[in-house]
Structure 1
């Protein structure tokens, strides 16, 4: 009788287990398609991780992204007064924590005493994570889009953490300042880099000078013209990354087909504030596993 109960329990749990396995991030799948300019698969980047469910840039938000099968987490990195890279979008901690002041003016030990706030301003039990904590949590499980909020002088502190954590294979760096992206390559040869390339008379020069691994499109209609995207993908064999943040995400909450504005342009990676919704739509369209 006991054995029969155990068997029934396993049979009942199996679909849930399989769903969980399907939902969690497939790191090998993400790496396979991350630098692929083809349009069979579209990857999803969670802006500031799963910030609608947990505080932005928190370890909990990263863990939740992995659990939901998100491909990439975008995190913002700044450096504390004592030179430790931490995850924080704004220059000050006021908007997102119980603390006050500029990150660069506060030592890590004090930053760690602050509690993070969620999207509604509610104080949580979560604290400001270091980049090292985040990478040790998520490396080889999810890809990190490291948005550099540091000056050129502090870049070495950030790349040193990636190297220390043996996480080069789990990250790519983003900055719109070209000199910083070039310096990243010198500090950490072989690491993937993304920068913004505008559709203008200098686009060809910038693509050939910077040799990025991923091209971040601007938000203007000109920057997102199909002809420009096709040129980047066909002639330079590079994937393109675009934001759905703001208007597109808002529209998709009412009509999920709003994402077609990016899918019809063959965008390879979409950054969104609603990653679970976008993943569901991509799977319906056979654009994701």
Structure 2
């Protein structure tokens, strides 16, 4: 009887592990047609791990996020690493620009946590991150427009083109001139700053000349009416809005959700289907309550 019970328990555990693997594989693609809101974690799970670290990305996948946003810089010997700032000072034990150091020299430094204390984690390379994320979580490469021509061969070789979302703030002409035919082979999302006077004309530049994945919009207090987000969604384009800071979302930001989680309803009303957040726990709680996320 004990042997039978142990066999049943082992089978149940094995089944749950297999289910987890399948779930990762099914969700970790930009081809997903699930009718739910996608949650993007800003610089990974930086509240529980150093930002732009391997741990932050792994934790983002574990918490149930669909995507981790990461930032790129390059070393002196042309190796792409994860780093948000132009210098190493804030987030690592190093000083100065990453381009002043080789990868071997960069490995001497350690990441700092959110309070500025040194950890034992090193600055990851993009290659390491791709290996970690493959079939587990999609990635958005922010602060990486200048490196798209380097990144594309890497993700193509790894079979990860469907997992990587690129973005940029340049107009269509500059984007096409910089990327050439690569623009037609990647998932690309232009950033449209409604709060800085950009609008439908820039959207049309892209939709009339290529097939963007969608658009990231920054929205001030009075600009939400300038674009029919529902019409864009109906045409197959995704709508990305950040819940990070007030200037991105007409003051419907993450910190306000700590007092009133109903703040997130605004994003549903705007027809956003990608929300980048610094408060994934609260956002996921809200979306699951409204059956907008598994």
Shorter-normalised TM range: 0.7 to 0.9
Residue 68 of structure 2 is matched in structure 1 by 73
User: Normalized against structure 2, the TM-score is what?
Assistant: 0.83
User: Normalized against structure 1, the TM-score is what?
Assistant: 0.85
- Cα distance change, pair 202–164 in 1 and its aligned pair in 2 (3 A): closer
Task: Provide the C-alpha distance between the structure 1 equivalents of 2:90 and 2:30, rounded to a whole number of angstroms.
Answer: 37
Is 1:232 aligned to residue 237 of structure 2? Answer: no
- Cα distance change, pair 189–266 in 1 and its aligned pair in 2 (3 A): closer
Q: Which has the higher contact order (CA 8 A, sep 6+)?
A: 1
Residue 214 of structure 1 is matched in structure 2 by 214
- Report matched runs for 1:12-27 at 5 Å: 26-27=24-25
Residue 163 of structure 2 is matched in structure 1 by 170
Aligned CA-pair RMSD: 3.0
Is 1:250 aligned to residue 279 of structure 2? Answer: no
- Cα distance change, pair 32–209 in 1 and its aligned pair in 2 (3 A): closer
Residue 156 of structure 1 is matched in structure 2 by 149
- Cα distance change, pair 138–30 in 1 and its aligned pair in 2 (3 A): closer
CA contact (8 A) 1:93 1:102 kept: yes
Task: Provide the C-alpha distance between the structure 2 equivalents of 1:8 and 1:171, rounded to a whole number of angstroms.
Answer: 39
Secondary structure at 1:254 match in 2: coil
Range with greater deviation from structure 2 (207-216 or 181-190): 181-190
CA contact (8 A) 2:38 2:274 kept: yes
Q: What are structure 2's unaligned runs of at least 5 residues?
A: 193-197, 247-252
Selected match of 1:283 from 282, 288, 294: 288
Q: What are structure 1's unaligned runs of at least 5 residues?
A: none
Aligned residues: 281
